[in-house]
Amino acid sequence: MSQQYALIIDDNIKNVNVLAQLLTLQQFESIKVFNPNELDSLLKTLPAVKVIFLDLEMPTLDGYTILERLKSDPRFQNIPVVAYTVHLSEINVAYQQGFDSFIGKPLDADKFPEHLARILEGEAVWETS
């Protein structure tokens, strides 16, 4: 089986590392972006990703702005973009803005494999816990 990639965009190193560990257990390699301002240059050399995890609140760009950029790029229009955030009250806004799924932080390690499988099958997952 060829390598599967997930893109993680989040400025919090601890959160990224936790998510990356969970993805590793599911046979994914994580591509980590801590500074969203570096995203445009990274996208030019990015391997094909199966899923994108995007934090909503970062210092320089919010997740909604990044989502708009990703969805305007033909390479990412069919890739599920998952909002993952501590701001659980943002679930309806994330839905309205076009996120494909929503998973609240902290991530539930027991539920994550099922959530990821459902997302990869094209099913929306909207979980706050």
Domains in the chain (CATH in brackets) are: 4-127 (3.40.50.2300)
Instruction: Spell out the long-range contacts of 118-124 with Cβ–Cβ below 8 A and sequence spacing 24 or more.
Output: 119/51, 119/80, 119/82, 120/50, 120/51, 120/80, 122/80, 124/100
H/E run at residue 65: helix 63-71
pLDDT of residue 44: 85
**Which residues have CB under 8 Å from 103's CB, separation 6+?**
53, 82, 83, 84, 112, 115, 125, 127
- Checking if the pLDDT of 38 tops 70, the result is yes
Q: Report percent pLDDT > 70 for the chain.
A: 99
Q: What is the pLDDT at residue 40?
A: 86
The number of residues making up the chain comes to 129
Structure tokens at 92: 């309806």
pLDDT over threshold 70, residue 1? no
Residue 65, CA distances (Å) to 32, 46, 56, 111 in order: 18, 19, 9, 28
Q: How confident is the model at residue 59 (pLDDT cuts 50, 70, 90)?
A: confident
Does position 53 have pLDDT exceeding 60, yes or no? yes
Mean pLDDT of 94-117: 96
Interval 117-129 mean pLDDT: 94
Q: What is the pTM of this model?
A: 0.95
